[in-house]
Amino acid sequence: HGESDLGKNLAEVVDQEQTAAEEHQKISQENQLTKTSKDQDVKYKRNEASALDKEVGEVDGDLTNTRSEIDAALQAEGSLREQCVEKPETYGDRRAKREAEIAGLKSALDALENHAAMLQYPQ
């Protein structure tokens, strides 16, 4: 009776060991598939990150060029505005022009009066 229990226990242990080995093999295969999948994901993500870094560099370059073009356009616009927009004269400028005009008119009047006086009184 003892030998049959021992044989029975041995058969159970062997069966449990085989089941555990099969389970281990199954889990190992699943883990290997998961690892391979994750490695591919990492590879894909690295490639995607590299492509995005390159694109960011290109967009930054485009942004810099666009800003330079905008700055140049704004500078040109400012220059054109200076040339096209009439600036109002200051009070001092208007006054100086009027005083010069009055002085010129007085000088012309004096010259005309002197000339008329010489015409009236012949010598």
State residue 123's pLDDT score: 55
pLDDT tens, 96-119? 999 999 999 999 999 998 887 777
- CA dihedral 53→55→61→65, nearest 10 degrees, is -160
Please report, for the chain, how many H helices and E strands are present, in that order.
2, 0
Whether the pLDDT of residue 41 is over 60: the answer is yes
pLDDT tens, 61-87? 999 999 999 999 999 999 888 888 787
Q: Residue 37 is encoded by which pair of tokens?
A: 């999948």
3 state DSSP class of 90? coil
Alpha-carbon distance of 16 to 12, in angstroms, equals 6
Alpha-carbon distance of 23 to 30, in angstroms, equals 11
Residue of 73, 53, 50 whose CA lies nearest to 61: 53
Q: Compute φ and ψ for 6, nearest 5 degrees.
A: -65, -45
Contacts of 89 (CB under 8 A, 6+ apart): 97
Alpha-carbon distance of 79 to 76, in angstroms, equals 5
